[in-house]
Amino acid sequence: MKSTSGYAFTLGSRIFSWALKKQAIVAQSSAEAKYTAAAITTSQAIWLKRIFDDMGEPQVGATEIYYDSKSAIAMAKNPIFHSITKHIGIKYYFIREA
């Protein structure tokens, strides 16, 4: 069964970009599903940053992304999890560098 991912970006106190959709993959664990959701959110944050840069309103500071999965956070921060996560698609690994 495919997991559902969602995100909302705010500017001031208003939401200006949001999405809720099924993931393209069938995750083998809840940690993988949450890691994939974080990667999708990170990709959108990078795209929004580039849009603001193009509009002449560069972003000051980093974008804070909140998610509640300790295992997904550990997967993003620690490459030791490679043997556990090697089945996750390469396209999601950029989150480690973002």
Has residue 59 been placed in a domain? yes
pLDDT of residue 98: 56
Query: pTM score, two decimals?
Result: 0.71
Has residue 86 been placed in a domain? no
Q: How far apart are CA 97 and CA 42, in angstroms?
A: 10
Has residue 85 been placed in a domain? no
Has residue 45 been placed in a domain? yes
Look at the chain and report how many structural domains it folds into.
1
Has residue 82 been placed in a domain? no
pLDDT tens digit string along 18-46? 999 998 878 777 777 887 888 888 899 99
pLDDT tens digit string along 41-88? 889 999 999 999 999 999 888 888 887 777 777 776 666 655 555 556
Has residue 60 been placed in a domain? yes
Q: Which domain holds residue 10?
A: 4-77
| Closest C-alpha to 35, from 56, 9, 90 | 90
